[in-house]
Amino acid sequence: MINIILGIPVLLAILTLLIKKQRILGILTSIGYLAVLFDSILLFRRVLISGNIKLYADFIYIDALSAFFIFVIAIVAFASSFYSVGYIERDIEKGIISDRKAKIYYLLFNLFCCSMLFAPAVNNLGILWVAIEMTTLISAFLVGFYNSKESVEAAWKYIIICSVGIIFALLGTILFSYAFSLLGGAKTLNWSEIVANAANLDKNILKVAFIFILVGYGTKAGLAPMHTWLPDAHSQAVAPISALLSGVLLKTAIYAILRFGIIIIKAVGIAYFSHLMILLGLVSLGISCAFILVQKDLKRLLAYSSIEHVGIIAIGFGLGSPLAIAGAIFHIFNHAVTKSFMFFGAGNIVSVYKKHNINAIRGVIKVLPFTGIMVLIGVFALTGFPPFAIFLSEILIIAAAFTSDSYLIAALLLLFLSIIFGAFIYHFGKMLFGNLPKGMTRIGEPLSGKIVFLFLLLPITILGVAVPFIKEDLLWIAQRLLQG
Amino acid sequence: MIELILFGILAATYLLVIVKRMPALIQGFRYQSFFIFLITLIAGLTENQPGLLIVALLILALKVFIIPFVLNSIAKKISVDENLGLLINAQLSLVVALLLTYFSWVFSGMLGFNNGHISIAITVAFSVIFIGGFLMISRMKAFTQVLGLLIMENGIFLFASFLSGGMPFFVEIAIFLDVFVSVIIMGLFVYRINKLFTHIDVNKLSRLRG
């Protein structure tokens, strides 16, 4: 099954070199990712029911955690590829990009998705590092895709900051393998073998190593204060790519942190992991909160909101109780889906208004009625308003903070979330309802552009309503995820 | 013998800190990589590991010849002013480098390496990593950032080879490939920056804020 998941993006990447028409290419890509999505659901089901999968002499190792991340990547990749068809077509019609460049876009898109799907599937921590570095290198081109001064600057900062960050992650990985080699076995970087001997590893080395891991992959995950590349890259990338960056690229880095975190928890105990994650989480929340309040750029606003949600996820894992972990896992999915939804909305708005500036965007509901309403729903979903899914995952994490007597954390979470809620309503209220700028009239939207919103709206609302009834299952899955 | 080469690496690293022009910086990187090639070669011969020999040859080919050649040719192509634009002058940079080396020595002691040539090796490795990072933030030209990354990667490689006798062979190869690709891609971006901005001073890239 995993062969199909990894094979389809490679196959599609090869097809981009053979097929001439970019439109056909776009449609084929979406069909391909639909297949990947179905396959990833089957994979997740199979891992939950019949246990972990090991392939090719332990090179591929898929447990519940990997399968879950593959599923999240697949769903956003499908939505994004579907949205790309219309988006790229519009760009070509307007003469922003050429036919040839559209083909390069699909080539990079497929390679990017392939490297992201590959990262959770490998067992070897060194290859995991290579896969995550590959995601940076490929997506840098997609960030600098429009070749404007701003986008190239963003791409440059992105590639340099993330590469330096990730060098520290490599240092941490080497220290982990050193701690393992002290046990006297054969040298290996396979996660499954290291975690099996976690309890015997040298605690001091692991503690230092985990700091490096956290700085390294934390940079890629957008945890403050290593987040500085994120708003630039997210705001300059092509809209469907912004969705991928924010929805799932950050999550692959979180996946890597969790992989090492599981070893740390087993070797050193949860307190160490917990304190670091909660600290970084709260700093991220605080910083993003400040920047969201004063933000003047629509896409940067959404980018800072990603830092906020990554912070919430880190706090969830940091709290460490089953309830909190269930919340954090659930939040990873919710944020991926909701944030892509919002970036698609923002993409539609920006391509009509041709500006990112919040002050220049007024009366979206009158110009783009469908997108306007969807964005309005998205704002409430993203800021954690019931009955949407993010509300539930945030409540789970806050409840977990209360039940573990971490009142300060719960209070700070509530404070930051309510400030961010207010700021979002304020910014989007102006954009959606204000007076129409001169010369703008209502613009029709094609059906294909609408379907992707409805597709993503489905899980956002259904899960928000259904999860209270399947809470036991969610807790069970969350427990399975961190078993390794 | 190993110690001598290790000190050679350190000397090459200090050289990188004081040079003011691009070709000299690339040349310094070649010296450093050549010493790392020597160390890997000796380790491969004494421990009789064919894998290490292949890695040593890769270092020689990639880091001593191909990557410097690529960087030099990009530098020629964009024909910008060769000065690196030192934000911190050479003397002060040297002092910082010295402090970073001392800090590396303390740090390696903290990690539990306090005897024999392994402690020297770990100290040198950390110095190279930190000084590489320092170079990235204290020079104006985008090129220095590419080289800084390569220098840091050299340090990591040294660290890995002394700590756990290197990483598994195929991981090593994958990382090499990755580094090579990243240099090419960063070179492309330097080229694009030069075309769009008509300079490659990263301290002037400040259009995106807030």
Question: What are the two backbone dihedrals, phi and then psi, of residue A301, each rounded to the nearest 5 degrees?
Answer: -55, -50
Interface subset of B 138-167, CB within 8 angstroms of A: 142, 145, 148-149, 152-153, 156, 159-160, 163-167
Identify the pLDDT of residue B179.
84
Distance, CA of A230 to CA of A219 (rounded, Å): 9
Question: In this model, does residue A41 exceed pLDDT 70?
Answer: yes
Give the number of other Cβ atoms within 10 Å of residue A1's Cβ: 17
Mean pLDDT is lowest, of A170-184, A267-281, B54-68, B160-174, for B160-174
Give the number of other Cβ atoms within 10 Å of residue A422's Cβ: 13
Identify the pLDDT of residue A103.
87
Instruction: Please name the helix (run of DSSP H) or strand (run of DSSP E) that holds residue A54, with its range, or none.
Output: strand A53-55
Q: What is the pLDDT along chain B (210 residues), one digit of tens a residue?
A: 888 999 999 999 999 999 888 888 999 999 999 999 998 888 888 887 787 888 888 889 988 999 899 888 888 887 777 777 777 888 899 999 999 999 999 888 887 777 777 888 889 999 999 999 998 888 888 888 888 989 998 898 888 888 766 677 777 788 888 888 888 888 888 888 888 887 777 777 777 776
A152/B192 Cβ within 8 A: yes
Instruction: Give A435's DSSP letter.
Output: P
Please tell me whether residue A60 adopts helix, strand or coil conformation.
strand
* Mean pLDDT for the stretch of residues A386-408: 88
Mean pLDDT is lowest, of A37-41, A184-188, B169-173, for A184-188
Question: In this model, does residue A483 exceed pLDDT 70?
Answer: no
Question: In this model, does residue A112 exceed pLDDT 90?
Answer: yes
> Looking at CA atoms only, how far is residue B8 from chain A in angstroms?
22
Identify the pLDDT of residue A278.
92
B194 inside 8 A of chain A by CB: no
Identify the pLDDT of residue A71.
92
Half-sphere exposure of A348 (CA within 13 A, CB side): 29
Identify the pLDDT of residue B52.
82
Please tell me whether residue A95 adopts helix, strand or coil conformation.
coil
> Looking at CA atoms only, how far is residue A146 from chain B in angstroms?
12
Distance, CA of A220 to CA of A168 (rounded, Å): 11
Helix axes A229-236, A298-319, angle to 10 degrees: 130
Identify the pLDDT of residue A37.
92
Residues of chain B in contact with residue A141, where contact means CB-CB under 8 angstroms, are 185
Identify the pLDDT of residue A73.
93
Distance, CA of A356 to CA of A235 (rounded, Å): 8
Top mean pLDDT of A76-80, A148-152, A456-460 is at A76-80
pLDDT digits 0-9 by tens, A319-345: 888 888 888 988 999 999 999 999 998
For residue A123, what is the nearest residue in chain B, using CA coordinates? B171
B208/A160 Cβ within 8 A: no
Q: What is the pTM of this model?
A: 0.91
Instruction: Please name the helix (run of DSSP H) or strand (run of DSSP E) that holds residue A62, with its range, or none.
Output: strand A60-62
Identify the pLDDT of residue A251.
92
Among the residues of A182-202, which ranges form H helices? 191-196
Residues of chain A in contact with residue B208, where contact means CB-CB under 8 angstroms, are 150, 153-154, 157, 231-232, 235-236
B193 inside 8 A of chain A by CB: yes
Identify the pLDDT of residue A201.
82
Q: Round to the nearest angstrom and report the end-to-end CA distance of chain B.
A: 52
**Closest CB to A153 among B153, B170, B205:** B205
**Closest CB to A181 among B112, B164, B186:** B164
Token look-up 């089953």 returns: A322
**How many Å is the maximal CA-CA distance in chain A?**
74
Of A229 and A447, which is predicted with more confidence?
A229
Q: Round to the nearest angstrom and report the end-to-end CA distance of chain A.
A: 20
B54 inside 8 A of chain A by CB: no
Of A480 and A73, which is predicted with more confidence?
A73
Q: Which residues pair with B141 in a beta bridge?
A: B201
Question: In this model, does residue A310 exceed pLDDT 90?
Answer: yes
Confidence of residue A252 (pLDDT cuts 50, 70, 90): very high
Identify the pLDDT of residue A484.
54
Whole-complex ipTM: 0.90
CB A145 within 8 A of CB A179: no
Of A308 and A472, which is predicted with more confidence?
A308
Q: What Å distances lie between residue A11 and A5, A19, A148, CA to CA? A: 11, 12, 31
Residue A4 CB contacts under 8 Å (≥ 6 apart), including other chains? A35, A36, A39
pLDDT digits 0-9 by tens, A88-101: 888 888 888 888 88
For residue A296, what is the nearest residue in chain B, using CA coordinates? B210
Question: In this model, does residue A43 exceed pLDDT 80?
Answer: yes
pLDDT digits 0-9 by tens, A404-436: 888 899 999 999 999 999 999 999 988 888 777
Distance, CA of A148 to CA of B181 (rounded, Å): 23
A204/B189 Cβ within 8 A: no
Identify the pLDDT of residue A174.
87
CB A317 within 8 A of CB A218: no
